[in-house]
Structure 1
Amino acid sequence: MHPAVLTNAFEPNELAFLQRFFKEICAKRGVAGDTPAATDIASQIIQLYQRGVRDETHLQIELNGTVFSKS
C-alpha cells in the first residue's frame, strides 16, 4: 500500500494542486484565506479529496452542492 495512504499525508504534487484549488475557490467566493469560512472550505476540499474526489471539476461540483456532516 502507498505510504501516503497509510499516513494521510499528501504527495507534493497533491498538496500543490489542493493549495491552488483552495485559492481559486476562495477567490471565486470572495473569501479571505485566513477566515473561518476559508477554514471550512479547506476542510471540505480535504474531505472530498480523501474520499476519492480528485478531479477539479468534480471537486467544484461537490463543493457547490454538498453539505458535509461531521463524522
Structure 2
Amino acid sequence: MINPHVSTSGVAYPDDLVLLKRIYDQVCEERGIARGSPEASELAIEAMKLFSAGIFDEDSVSRRLRHR
C-alpha cells in the first residue's frame, strides 16, 4: 500500500502507478471492460482523478471505482 506522505504533491510515482494499474485491471476484469474501450479510458481517468484528489488508499480507490 502507498504511504500518503509519498504522494502529497499529486505526482504519481512508479509504485503509485503500479497500484492504480492493479486496481484498474481488477475492475476491468470484473466488469468485462475491454482494454482500449471508451469505458476503460473513463475508468483510467477516474482512477487518476481520485489519486489527484488525494485518495491513495487501495481499498478506497477500489471501492470508489467499483461503485462509480
TM-score interval, normalised by the smaller of the two chains: 0.7 to 0.9
The Cα shift of 1:20 comes to 1.3
Larger Rg: 1
Unaligned segments of structure 1, at least 5 residues:
67-71
TM-score of the aligned structures, taking structure 2 as reference length: 0.75
SS of equivalent residue, structure 2 residue 61: helix
Unaligned segments of structure 2, at least 5 residues:
1-5
AA aligned to 1:59 is V
Greater relative contact order (CA < 8 Å, ≥ 6 in sequence): 2
The Cα shift of 1:24 comes to 0.8
Choose from 38, 52, 67 the match for 1:50: 52
The Cα shift of 1:21 comes to 1.2
TM-score of the aligned structures, taking structure 1 as reference length: 0.72
- Offset from partner CA, 1:30-57 (integer Å, 9 cap, x none): 1011100000000111101111111121
- Which residues of 2 match residues 1-71 of structure 1 at below 5 A? 5=9, 8-66=10-68
SS of equivalent residue, structure 1 residue 32: coil
- Provide the rounded CA distance (Å) in 2 between the counterparts of 1:9 and 1:34: 24
- Report the aligned-residue RMSD: 2.0
- Provide the rounded CA distance (Å) in 2 between the counterparts of 1:18 and 1:40: 14
